[in-house]
Amino acid sequence: MTIELATASGDHGLHLVGGEPLIFHCHHYNAALQQSIEDLGHSLPVHDILRDGAVAPVHAQLTSAFAGHSAAERLAFGADLFRRLGFGTLSAGGLDAGGGQASLHDSHYALGFEARSRHGAARRDPACHFAAGFVEALAAATFDARPGSYRAVETGCAALGAEHCTFDVEKLAEPRPLSPSMGMGLVPSPMPPRPRFESNVDESFILAALSKLPLEGNEEGLIPAFGVYLTRHYANYYNYISYELERRVTAEMPRLLDAARDLLTEAGHVCAFNTFGGIMESPEWDAVVGPMLRDRRDWVAGIVSCINALGWGRWSVVELVEHERLVLRVDASYESSYYLQRFGADDQPHCHFCRGAAAGIMNLLYAGDITQKPTLDATYYDQLFSGPESFRGTEARCRSRGDDCCELVVERQTYAV
Amino acid sequence: MSARSLLSKIDAAYSGARRHFIYARLSLKTGLDLQDPTCLDEVSAGDLERLMGAIREICLDVRL
């Protein structure tokens, strides 16, 4: 009997695997987000946050399927899952109930930081905190221990020049307390009707075509696609690390809260530029979406349809005033669904990533011209996101503020310092 | 070199969103709210050292 994770999806747009929402994100976003959190390393235990974020969702997912299987089968399954999700090639067979060593070749995070080193992301310390948390969760799920029962320390990292990454794993005398996984969080039920947006794009056709793409880790455990390295990542990892940052800054350094939120949004800009841009320049886009494209309204509708294949929730175009304004509605965004489940509603919008991603659509199409397939490099990024004609997103409505949906408004706005 | 003169180098090298997000990163890395000009009145020697280190790390286009 092989180990299998139950899968489920629905009109909310989330893709559940073993009860955990999995979403696609690229190495640019993963490195930019981690770097933003690490910037607070002088006053917060950022590496604990980055590692702990992996433990609860991975442990919950694996334990949903491990009953009746041997330790060797569990470890092998966990390593194969890690590879299929695009994080690299993990060797965990040497672990036992007391701990041991694990190794990682072709680490996604090490590779991501290396690729972004010219953006000031060069490492001085190990990079693979998500992988360390995954190893901790795998050990706990394998040996029927509670999440937080193991500690994995990365003792060598490819981002620092090692041939591969290594982790020393030890069983703790007492499990450290961790926030439990939020699963799919609180999603609207039933889902509300979608706004109608006139275009020539057939979203159901695009979703069916994208679902057939082999977006799974190769032999090296990497997912090279659309000019980036993708991961099929844990939504609740992103949620945990982003909202822990927000929560702790609110409590301990409230004067820096706007700066922290801005950086979560800037990571969304980085994501949109590289992943949306890469998708819109890809042969897959040309083949699947290209025949439907008559004008830039169709490009907007086309990329929003592709976003709906990424597991981020259900995105819809509400309004587009070309060259001026875009309004998007997101039902069941992975950010708000988690936030509501964990914290309940408050008086602030919290979909910081979505805000940046939405701005990216307008910057690619109306501050720049992605239809001409420009080179997606740092110079072009600065031109699109830092020019006087650049667009910026705000979240006018948010479910985590008690609204019935999340609504992102993108307009040209300059930045005060 | 004062904090204000350090930031004037940032202002000379960057503009728009790029400058905005660099200020945000420098704020997180130093614990100083650099978007509030009054905070520059209270910068200690240790803060200044941290700010210089953060600029060297983040602002590859700026020479101190």
Q: What pLDDT was estimated at residue A116?
A: 83
Interchain pair A262, B19: CB under 8 A: no
Element (H, E) at A319: strand A314-321
Q: Which of A81, A184, A220 lies closest to A137 in space, CA to CA?
A: A81
pLDDT tens-digit series, residues B42-59: 789 999 999 999 999 888
Residue with tokens 């602002």: B59
Closest Cβ opposite residue A120 in set B20, B24, B57: B57
Which tens digit of pLDDT belongs to each residue from A293-304? 999 999 999 999
pLDDT at A145: 98
For chain A, the distance separating the N- and C-terminal CA atoms, rounded to the nearest angstrom, is 60
Partners of A414 on chain B (C-beta within 8 Å) are 16
List of chain A residues whose C-beta atoms are within 8 Å of the C-beta of residue B35: 258-259, 416-417
**pLDDT beyond 80 at A121:** no
Furthest-apart CA pair in chain B: how many Å?
Answer: 29
Decide: A299 and A317 in contact? Cβ < 8 Å.
Answer: no
Q: DSSP labels for A207-255? A: HHHHTTS--S--TTS-EEETTEEEEEEEHHHHHHHHHHHHHHHHHH-GG
Distance between B59 CA and the closest CA of chain A, angstroms = 8
Hey, is the C-beta of B1 within 8 angstroms of any chain A C-beta?
no
How close is the nearest chain B Cα to the Cα of A62, in Å? 35
Tell me which residue in B17, B25, B35 faces A39 most closely, judged by beta carbons: B25
CA distance, residue A371 to nearest chain B CA (Å): 23
What residues form DSSP beta bridges with A378?
A: none
Q: How far is it, in rounded angstroms, from Cα A17 to Cα A387?
A: 41
Spacing of C-alpha B51 from chain mean position:
6
* DSSP codes of every residue in A69-124: --HHHHHHHHHHHHHHTTS-EEE-TT-BTTEEEEEEES-HHHHHHHHTGGGTT--S
| Six token digits for residue A84 | 């299929």
Residue A124: per-residue pLDDT: 87
Report whether pLDDT(A196) > 80. yes
Mean pLDDT in residue range A138-154: 98
Disruptive mutation site among B28, B30, B32, B44 for chain A (greatest number of A CBs within 10 Å): B28
Q: Does B16 touch chain A (CB under 8 A)?
A: yes
Local confidence band at B16 (pLDDT 50, 70, 90 cut-offs): confident
- Which pLDDT value is given to residue A398? 98
User: In sequence order, what are the residues at sequence separation of 6 or more whose Cβ sits closer than 8 angstroms to the Cβ of residue A371?
Assistant: A280, A296, A299, A365
- C-alpha span between A219 and A303 (Å, rounded): 29
> Residue A39: its chain B contacts at CB < 8 A?
25, 28-29
Contact B58 A266 (CB under 8 A): no
Q: What is the pTM of this model?
A: 0.96
Nearest to B60 among A42, A120, A416 (CB): A120
Average pLDDT over residues A239-243: 98
> Any residues with CB less than 8 A from the CB of A279 and at least 6 apart, and which?
A226, A285, A303, A306
Average pLDDT over residues A19-34: 97
pLDDT of residue A19: 97
What is the C-alpha separation between B27 and A79, in angstroms, rounded? 39
How high is the pLDDT of residue A119?
Answer: 60
Give the C-alpha separation, B59 to B55, whole Å: 5
Q: What per-residue confidence (pLDDT) applies to A122?
A: 66
Q: How confident is the model at residue A417 (pLDDT cuts 50, 70, 90)?
A: low
Query: Which residue type is seen at B49?
Result: E
- What is the band of B41 on the pLDDT scale with cuts at 50, 70, 90? confident
Which of A42, A119, A256 has the most B C-beta neighbours within 10 Å, making it the best mutation to test the interface with B? A256
- List phi, psi (to 5°) of B44: -85, 170
Task: Compare all CA atoms of chain A with the CA of B23 and give the residue at the minimum distance.
Answer: A417
Contact check, Cβ <8 Å, A256/B31: yes
Which of the pair, A122 or A270, is modelled with greater confidence?
A270
Cβ of B16 within 8 Å of Cβ of A388? The answer is: yes
- Asked if B17 and A385 come within 8 Å (Cβ–Cβ), the reply is yes
Using an 8 Å CB-CB cutoff, list chain B residues near A40. 28-29
3-state helix, strand, coil in chain B (%, to 5): 70, 0, 30
- For residue A159, pLDDT over 90 is answered with yes
CB contact under 8 A, A253 and B31: yes
* Cβ contacts of A259 on chain B, cutoff 8 Å: 23-25, 27-28, 33, 35
- Interface contact A386-B33, CB threshold 8 A: no
